[in-house]
Structure 1
Amino acid sequence: MAAESYTVESIAHVVGGRVEPTDDFWGGTPAIIRIDDTRFTADATKGLDEFSHLEIVFRFHLTDPTDLNLGARRPRDNPDWPEVGIFGHRNMRRINWLGVSRCRLIKVDGLDLHVEELDAVDGTPVLDIKPWFVEFGPRGPVHQASWTTQMLGRYFERPE
């Protein structure tokens, strides 16, 4: 199967929040998703304020393009956790450097979406914004590897 290429344009950028990516303590972190006002009007956000959460697709723009491991590695390089293949991780070490985050929508102000707990940093290019629908959540029983619960135990705690 041959690789395909696509051109993707950012539609917004993250303003504020953190300036450096970190592994934990994203709880309560405020930021603004500022939608490009040269292409969109406030009509683009009409009705969005009826949703409590958004799903944001973004690009890990600060990632070192040489820091890829397409095979298996230990999450956060922790020797206590098993080696996991690239598709068993959700980190930034990916070929297309795409991230997906679900965050709380606090307020819609024209083309500024005020959010909390978006784990993307100031300046991050946003590729898509979708309202979170409960109906698109997992169906049936959910299970995951035990190391994920250990690793993410403090991910959405508030910074001390």
Structure 2
Amino acid sequence: MAGESFTVVPVAHVVGGRTVPEDDYWGGRRSVIRIDAEQFDAGAVVGLDAFSHIEVVFRFHLTDPTDLHPEPRRPRDNPDWPLGGIFAHRNMRRTNWLGVSRCRLLDVDGLDLHVEELDAVDGTPVLDIKPWFTAMGPRGEVGEPAWPSEMLAEYYAPPKD
């Protein structure tokens, strides 16, 4: 397995919304996921409009490849929060630069998916799109430390501009 690699081709790109990745204030932000018409036709989205939310796998394309932090570090460098390894964070500083977002699907217009609160910026390559199934969410009680809720208190707050 070590050294295994594979090629992934974007199925879509994000159009509009933010142009700069920032930590907070994604609330109410709207953008479009434009599915690649050279790979897919309208049949690819049949039935998707019945879902209120989608899960989007994307590549953090603006990340500096030298800005990796595999060593334990504090979330947002906050000294009040505990050290965590790379797999205890959800940020863009990852070996494969993959992100996962769950967002509201507002409309399906041909191969354009109008979404809200997708925390990916204009131009982001989208690697996969899946409808959100409640039954596929966490089962049982969910446990987490206090710091993620503290850190993300403003994440989906409306923009202050």
Alpha-carbon deviations, 1:59-110, whole Å to 9, x = none?
A: 0000000000112001011111111100000000000000000000000000
Q: Distance in 2 between matches of 1:13 and 1:83?
A: 34
TM-score, with length taken from structure 1: 0.98
Moved more, 9-18 or 78-87: 78-87
Residue 131 in 1 paired to residue 131 in 2? yes
**AA matched with 2:109:** D
What percent of counterpart residues are identical?
69
Residue 88 in 1 paired to residue 88 in 2? yes
What residue number does 1:142 align with? Answer: 142
What residue number does 1:60 align with? Answer: 60
Residue 20 in 1 paired to residue 13 in 2? no
What residue number does 1:97 align with? Answer: 97
What residue number does 1:154 align with? Answer: 154
TM-score, with length taken from structure 2: 0.98
| 1:32, distance to aligned residue in structure 2 (A) | 0.1
What residue number does 1:36 align with? Answer: 36
What residue number does 1:122 align with? Answer: 122
Gaps of 5+ in 1: none
Gaps of 5+ in 2: none
Structural RMSD (CA): 0.7
Q: Distance in 1 between matches of 2:87 and 2:2?
A: 19
Q: Distance in 2 between matches of 1:2 and 1:35?
A: 33
Aligned length: 160
| 1:3, distance to aligned residue in structure 2 (A) | 2.7
Where 2:87 maps in the other structure, the secondary structure is helix
